[in-house]
């Protein structure tokens, strides 16, 4: 659709259509960039292993566990993702 609209915009010389075609090209460019950016993450398989973390936690004293929390269930994930997203937007 973007290519056809771009071709029509060139032929018609209509400023409104040319603006729409420019917008469509910009969206298409951003979509391609997004696909390229996340290609590695989308097309690979990811495995998470917490064996070492569990071993470290088992060897910690009670005081160390209070100071350094290794339990992900204690993380308030909604706030964490909001903070993470804010950091991405600030880049």
**For 32-90, what is each residue's pLDDT tens digit?**
999 999 898 889 888 888 899 889 989 999 999 889 888 888 889 899 888 888 877 76
Report d(CA 16, CA 21) in Å as an integer: 9
Diameter of the chain measured on Cα atoms:
76
Q: Please give the model's pTM, rounded to 2 decimal places.
A: 0.47
Sheet strands (E) in 1-91 = none
Rg, the chain, Cα only: 25
Under 8 Å between Cβ of 6 and 21: yes
DSSP 8-class letter at 72: G
Count of residues in the chain: 91
pLDDT band at 91 (very low <50, low <70, confident <90, very high): low
Distance from CA of residue 45 to its chain's centroid? 16
Mean per-residue pLDDT of the chain = 86
């Amino acid at each position: 659709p973007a290519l056809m609209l771009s071709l029509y915009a060139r032929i018609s010389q209509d400023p409104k259509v040319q603006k729409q075609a420019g917008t469509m090209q910009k969206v298409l460019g951003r979509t391609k960039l997004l696909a390229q950016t996340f290609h590695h993450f989308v097309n690979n398989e990811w495995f998470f292993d917490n064996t070492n973390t569990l071993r470290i936690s088992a060897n910690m004293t009670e005081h160390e566990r209070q100071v350094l929390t290794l339990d992900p269930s204690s993380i308030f994930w909604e706030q964490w993702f909001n903070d993470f997203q804010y950091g991405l937007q600030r880049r």
